[in-house]
Amino acid sequence: MKHKCFAAVVLAAALWLTGCGSAAAPAAPASSGAASQSAAAAAVQTAQKERITDQYTLEKNVSGVWGEDAVQYISVHVPRLECDSPDAASINEELNAIYGADFREFEAYEEAGQPDGDAPLIGVGWDDWWYGDCVSLVVRSRYGGTAPWRYSGWCFDFASGRQLTVAEMLQRMGLDPDEVQQQVQRQAMQAFDREMAQGAYYEGLRSGGELSQMRMDTLEYNELENLCLLLPEQDQLVLRGKYSCEEGWQQLDMELSLPPANTPVLTDTYDGVQVQLEGTQATITVSPAPKTATWDTELNLRVEQARTYPILGSYNEYVDVCIGQQTDSVFHPVVYLLTKDGVVEYVDVLRCLLFGNAMICQDPIYFANNGVSLERSGNSKVNLHRTDGSVLELADLSSEWSAQEIPYSVTGSFNYTGENGWSWMDLTSDGSAQLGVQDNSRIYRGDAAYLGVVPEGVVLAIFTDAGLDFVAAFKMDQYNENLTMTMIDGQNPFAEGETQLQMTRSYG
């Protein structure tokens, strides 16, 4: 990434560190030139090393660790911020509690002999990444010789003695945290989708909504507050996250990059439906037309004027787009999007309109991959042309892919207590829904349809026989067992006018 703001990193080498735990550095003569600059940079590095030390170390060969007879090498280095501020003390205590306590028992272990070959390494280590007086401290840990390393990060400003969030650290660099967040989540989802398409894991994960849950987990983990910030080079910024896959979690290093200067605009129009993709902006416009007019009599769905909807839940970079018809019996437009990795995503326009007024990009059709282009055929269906020369019709695939169960984390019974008394909601994986509102004075029964995932949660369209219909994103906090509902379209049935509320899981 070539950010203008990283000019400040170059200047940082010439800044004398001040604040907690530092000593003033002597001023260099004005005529000293390159040698003086080199000496200044070396002095800065020395000062940085003095600001973070080890508060606990252990280097030892032991055997019998967690029931293993082989000799293993334990290397533990728990860092300490050399600063007397309350925030520094809190971080130091947290580091000791997380990483030091687990290894103190091995101090009493008898020293084992040298291991044969490369010993499985168990332990803790750390790296520090500096931006002026601010440091991103990244700690790695591993509790099994073959386990992957786990990473956690803390940001700290020695000048003020304050702990910083990742967002605050990015702001110091002149970056917009919201824009960075969007880019990170897009990269994480692209990595997830690429893994699914290449590994063909999806067949065993679609039942029970597990595949959709894994996509939601990937989005949730890669929120800025969960990431580690690395500055490997002067003009390079990397955020370390991970994505969910069948084997567990995979580490993902995401380098921030500027979007291409000349982003091509992709567009298509078909009988009153138009799609336009430009960079990260994607929209669908539905207009009055002969085909959309048939919805009035057939589906009681009236299009009176043109309306443009943003496409929610789209995270990839796209190389082609095409609109087709899913069925012949009723005008059923579907927008198909081809990613740069050759995987097809889609937006079922009619389904989204019937369930609300929000266009949601459905999960990618992972077995519609290796694509190079999209084409609408004579029967108004869309075909995917693939690298091996084969052609795949997409209508039946998108219809099948829509029939996914609701992810398990948002199913169950939930309660909410507000100004109008007690309300509740029951959701099952097969899509049946029940709601009791206004102190249980009104009970609604209906269905919930899974539409996709967005950063706010799993998107469900809930519609009832009494006309209480809405679209919302649901995200479960497993630790506190709170379900956060964020409204996307329609009236909040539990608290009029509220766009977000929390419900509590019920076991009654």
CATH number of domain containing 417: 2.40.128
28 falls in which pLDDT band (50, 70, 90)? very low
Q: Which among 471, 499, 446, 454 is positioned nearest to 355, based on CA atoms?
A: 471
Average pLDDT of the chain is 86
User: In this structure, are 166 and 183 located in the same domain?
Assistant: no
Mean pLDDT within 201-211? 75
CA distances from 335 to 180, 194, 276, 312, 321 (A): 28, 21, 10, 13, 7
414/482 same-domain check: yes
Average pLDDT over residues 139-149: 84
Q: List alpha helices for 173-273, DSSP H.
A: 177-199, 210-221
- Sheet containing 121-131: give its strands across: 52-63, 71-81, 121-131, 134-142, 150-157, 162-164
- Asked if the structure places residue 358 within a domain, the reply is yes
- Asked whether residue 63 falls in the same domain as residue 93, the answer is yes
Q: In terms of residues, how long is the chain?
A: 508
pLDDT over 80 (residue 73): yes
Furthest-apart CA atoms within the chain: distance in Å: 85
Torsion of CA 127, 132, 134, 138, to 10 degrees: -10
Q: Is 201 helix (H, G, I), strand (E, B) or coil?
A: coil
Name the 3-class secondary structure at 433: strand
pLDDT-derived band at 435 (thresholds 50, 70, 90) equals very high
Share of the chain above pLDDT 90, in %: 58
Question: What's the whole-model pTM score?
Answer: 0.82
Residues 27 and 151 in one domain: yes
For range 459-473, the mean pLDDT: 90
Say how far apart CA 431 and CA 410 lie, in whole Å: 11
Spatial separation of the C-alpha atoms in residues 349 and 470, rounded to whole Å: 16
In this prediction, residues 23-30 reach a mean pLDDT of: 38
* pLDDT tens, residue by residue, 55-65: 999 988 887 76
From CA 134, how far away is CA 61, in angstroms rounded? 36
Is position 465 within any domain?
Answer: yes
Q: Are 344 and 379 members of one domain?
A: yes
Which of 32-41, 285-294, 336-345 has the weakest average pLDDT? 32-41
pLDDT of residue 222: 95
The answer for residues whose C-beta is within 8 angstroms of residue 67's C-beta and 6 or more apart is none
- What is the model's pLDDT at position 85? 96
pLDDT at 137 > cutoff 50? yes
- Average of per-residue pLDDT across 158-168: 96
Distance in Å from the first CA to the final CA of the chain: 53
* Same domain as 124, residue 101: yes
Coil, strand, or helix at residue 288? coil
Q: Please tell me the distance from the alpha carbon of residue 34 to that of residue 14, in angstroms, as a whole number.
A: 12
pLDDT tens column, 209-263: 888 889 999 999 999 999 999 998 877 899 999 998 877 889 999 998 765 656 7
| Predicted confidence band of residue 370 (pLDDT cuts 50, 70, 90) | very high
Q: What is the pLDDT of residue 25?
A: 38
Three-state DSSP state, 391: strand
Sheet holding 333-339, edge to edge: 318-325, 333-339, 344-348
pLDDT value for 90: 97
The more confidently predicted of residues 468 and 268 is 268
In a domain, 229, yes or no: yes
Closest by CA to 270, choosing from 357, 209, 347, 204, is 347
- Is residue 214 a contact partner of residue 201, using CB atoms and an 8 Å limit? no
Q: Is the pLDDT of residue 53 over 50?
A: yes
415 and 358 inside one domain: no
Q: Is the pLDDT of residue 127 over 80?
A: yes
Same domain for 160 and 35: yes
Q: How far is CA 192 from CA 123, 421, 496, in A?
A: 29, 42, 37
- Among candidate residues 129, 157, 172, the one where a domain is terminated: 172
Gap between the Cα atoms of 394 and 378, Å rounded: 14
Helix (H, G, I), strand (E, B) or coil at 358: coil
Give one DSSP letter per residue of 72-120, joined into a string.
Answer: EEEEEEEEEE---SHHHHHHHHHHIIIIIGGGGGGGGSPPP-PPSSSPP
Q: Examine the fold and report which residue of 236, 255, 274 is the final residue of a domain before the chain moves on.
A: 255
Predicted pLDDT of residue 72: 79
Around Cβ 37, how many Cβ atoms within 10 Å?
Answer: 13
Lowest mean pLDDT among 65-74, 207-216, 296-305, 337-346: 65-74
pLDDT digits (tens, 9 = 90+) for 281-323: 999 999 999 999 999 999 999 999 999 999 999 999 999 999 9
Burial string for 38-72 (b: 16+ CB within 10 Å, else e) reads eebeebbeebbeebbeebbebebbbeebeeeeebb
pLDDT > 50? residue 339: yes
Confidence of residue 470 (pLDDT cuts 50, 70, 90): very high
CB 322 within 8 A of CB 377: no
Asked if residue 12 has pLDDT above 60, the reply is no
What average pLDDT does range 159-188 have in this prediction?
94
Question: Once rounded to an integer, what is the mean pLDDT over residues 139-154?
Answer: 87
Tracing tokens 């009035």 back to the chain, one arrives at 296
Residue 23 is assigned to a structural domain of this protein? yes
CB-based contacts of 482, cutoff 8 Å, min separation 6: 476, 502, 503, 504, 505
What is the 8-class DSSP label of residue 431? Answer: S
The confidence score (pLDDT) of residue 13 equals 35
Residue-wise pLDDT tens digits, 401-414: 888 888 888 999 99
Mean pLDDT of 149-167: 95
> Rounded to an integer, what distance in angstroms lies between the CA atom of residue 92 and that of residue 86?
10
Report pLDDT for 10. 31
Residue owning tokens 């252990």: 58
Q: Which residues contact 185 (CB under 8 A, 6 or more apart)?
A: 219, 222, 223, 315, 455
- Identify whether 260 is part of a domain: no
> Residue 91 is part of a domain; what is its CATH number?
3.30.565.40
Q: Confidence band (pLDDT; 50, 70, 90) for 106?
A: confident
Q: What is the pLDDT of residue 258?
A: 61
How many domains is the chain partitioned into structurally? 4
- Could you tell me if 168 and 28 lie in one domain? yes
pLDDT of residue 171: 93
pLDDT at position 17 is 38
**Are 209 and 340 in a shared domain?**
no
Helices (H) and strands (E) in the chain, counts: 9, 28
Structural domain boundaries, residue 213: 177-255
Cross-strand bridge partners of residue 478: none
Q: What is the pLDDT of residue 409?
A: 87
Q: Which tokens go with 128? A: 């520090």
My answer on whether 30 and 168 are in the same domain is: yes
Contacts of 60 (CB under 8 A, 6+ apart): 73, 74, 106, 109, 111
**In the structure, what pLDDT confidence band is assigned to residue 199 with cuts at 50, 70 and 90?**
confident
According to the model, what pLDDT value does residue 260 have?
61
Is residue 457 a contact partner of residue 473, using CB atoms and an 8 Å limit?
Answer: yes
Q: Which of the four pLDDT bands, split at 50, 70 and 90, describes residue 185?
A: very high
Q: Of 255, 290, 307, which closes a domain?
A: 255
Whether 39 has a pLDDT exceeding 70, the answer reads no
Do 285 and 141 share a structural domain? no
Q: Do residues 458 and 447 make contact, with C-beta atoms less than 8 angstroms apart?
A: no
Task: Identify the pLDDT of residue 364.
Answer: 93
Does 438 have pLDDT greater than 90? Answer: no
Q: Give the whole-angstrom CA distance, residue 137 versus residue 160.
A: 16
Report residue 184 as tokens: 């990170």
* pLDDT at res. 66: 62
Q: Is residue 470 part of a domain?
A: yes
187 φ, ψ (degrees, to nearest 5) = -65, -40
Angle at 207 between CA 251 and CA 352, to 5 degrees: 90
Domain assignment present for 248? yes
Rounded percentage of the chain residues whose pLDDT exceeds 70: 86
Residues 256-283, mean pLDDT to the nearest whole number? 86
